[in-house]
Structure 1
Amino acid sequence: MVADALPLLTRQLGLADYESTWHAMQTFTDARTTDTPDEIWLLEHPPVFTLGQAGKPEHILQRGDIPIVKIDRGGQVTYHGPGQLIAYTLLDLRRLGIGVRELVRRLENSVIALLADYDIEAYGKVDAPGVYIRDDLGEAKIAALGLRIRNGCCFHGLSLNVNMDLGPFDMINPCGYEGLRVAQLADFGVSETPASIAGKMADKILQQIN
């Protein structure tokens, strides 16, 4: 970060409706000036499937009662629900001097560093953004990323599965990949909640973008 950069603010929003939060991110980004501090919003969502700009409806295998929201981030379909930590990164990339690919790498590294604190080895993949682990059954995705860039600023961010009902992931091809398994911190005996881990996640992101 450049020497005269503004401080980054973190906000813990608890359990927040998806669509109103999404529109709040758009409003924040549209109203930004060069003097607007960056922010990280930490929260959970009620159950919702979100379908990115290039999202294909056929990746939603069962509709059920969970709402489906078509949104303006990149990527395909994913699931958000209670027990999953969301970190929305509202950043001025021009001021930070980084591009979107570099931001994706840094966000992945922030999750990898957080998991390392729990002795969980994780990794990113160049061809499939997100963070992955290996267990006795093979590879599984534990965190997803999706971003939107507007006027040199980004919004949306990452989701980390902490301790949640993973069942709804069986209703979709997560991130557009048939048969992709998902994992969560609780699978590794980690007794955390999104609220208890939110501050740690924010610190890891700050370390990566500073």
Structure 2
Amino acid sequence: MFVPTEHRDPARLHTLGTAGKHRATARMQLEIGIAGRVDYQQALVWQEGLVARRLAGGSDALVLLQHPPVYTLGRGGDPRHLGGAGTTGVPIVRAQRGGQATYHGPGQLVGYPVLGLRDIRPDVGWYVRALEEVLIGVVGDLGVPAGRRPGLPGVWCDGRKIASVGVAIRRWVTWHGFALNVGKDLSGFAAITPCGITGVEMTSIEGEGGPGDVRAVIPFVVSRFVSVFGYAGWRSLEESLPEATA
């Protein structure tokens, strides 16, 4: 069952995004780092540093990037869902996020929020729904109706999955995050059972008639993320960005 979400209702976004007891984000600037195409392991090291920084009292951050082709499997994921990934020559990484098998590659926008949920709302279920709300709003702004499916995380266009969410929490600081399919080349998913859902059909913004350029999508993600989580605004990430690959 597909549950559409009204993505153009600012009041609803405000209610979801500022549900923390003290509305701490209303006084905070989110730091955003926008990188190019970054190796998965390199991005993981970058995340680890940002998590340590946040645990030490640093700012919330959001990293937006793309990865060269890579398959990942969540910490409790079933290796059988990797299917024929081992024959493709594409790296396979056991990730510390929740969830099952997925694919990252060019044309997909990956977001890694590093947020202190203790200061916002220490509720993992709420956090996942907030990420979904960001993504539903983004694709809606780009002319693609989307929503949720009961019992299945992520964002859906009817029965087709356009975005995945897989998070990790360390002492109430978030890492890992979401992946939004932008370009229409989804061939990397063919070797696996994405998200552990047999027969799932993946789709993308371009495949649904929207723009296929990741760079064009980034401003919409930034705007929606700041709005849904209720930040006062955003500034460029102070930490050095990882070097992009070709």
> TM-score band, normalised by the shorter chain?
over 0.9
Structure 2 counterpart of 1:87? 111
- Checking the alignment, whether the CA contact within 8 Å between 1:56 and 1:76 is kept in structure 2 is yes
Q: Which residue identity lines up with residue 207 of structure 2 in the other structure?
A: D
Q: Which residue identity lines up with residue 59 of structure 2 in the other structure?
A: P
Query: For each residue in 1:135-194, what CA deviation from the matched residue of structure 2 results, as whole angstroms up to 9, or x when unmatched?
Result: xxxx11000001000011001111000004211111000001111110001112222411
Q: Distance in 2 between matches of 1:176 and 1:89?
A: 23
Correspondent of 2:69 among 47, 56, 78: 47
1:103 deviates by: 0.8
Structure 1 counterpart of 2:200? 180
Q: Distance in 2 between matches of 1:171 and 1:126?
A: 26
Alignment of 1:127-166 (within 5 A): 127-134=151-158, 139-166=159-186
Alignment of 1:20-99 (within 5 A): 20-33=42-55, 35-62=57-84, 63=86, 64-99=88-123
Q: Which residue identity lines up with residue 76 of structure 1 in the other structure?
A: Q
1:22 deviates by: 1.0
Structure 2 counterpart of 1:169? 189
Cα distance change, pair 184–31 in 1 and its aligned pair in 2 (3 A): same
Structure 2 counterpart of 1:121? 145
Structure 2 counterpart of 1:198? 218
1:27 deviates by: 2.5
Gapped regions of structure 1 (runs ≥ 5): none
Q: Distance in 2 between matches of 1:44 and 1:32?
A: 23
Moved runs in structure 1, 4+ residues, more than 6 A? none
Q: Which residue identity lines up with residue 36 of structure 1 in the other structure?
A: G
76-85 vs 34-43, which moves further? 34-43
Structure 1 counterpart of 2:128? 104
1:11 deviates by: 0.8
Query: For each residue in 1:87-113, what CA deviation from the matched residue of structure 2 results, as whole angstroms up to 9, or x when unmatched?
Result: 111100001124111011011011111
Cα distance change, pair 164–21 in 1 and its aligned pair in 2 (3 A): farther
- Checking the alignment, whether the CA contact within 8 Å between 2:73 and 2:100 is kept in structure 1 is yes
1:32 deviates by: 2.5
Q: Distance in 2 between matches of 1:190 and 1:173?
A: 25
1:58 deviates by: 0.5
Between the two structures, name the one with larger relative contact order (CA 8 Å, sep ≥ 6): 2
1:119 deviates by: 2.6
Q: Distance in 2 between matches of 1:69 and 1:34?
A: 28
Cα distance change, pair 34–2 in 1 and its aligned pair in 2 (3 A): farther
Correspondent of 1:19 among 41, 56, 59: 41
Q: Distance in 1 between matches of 2:171 and 2:150?
A: 25
- Checking the alignment, whether the CA contact within 8 Å between 2:54 and 2:114 is kept in structure 1 is no
Secondary structure of the equivalent of 1:178? coil
Identity among equivalent positions (%) equals 33
TM-score normalized by the length of structure 2: 0.80
Q: Which residue identity lines up with residue 186 of structure 2 in the other structure?
A: L
Q: Distance in 2 between matches of 1:81 and 1:2?
A: 35
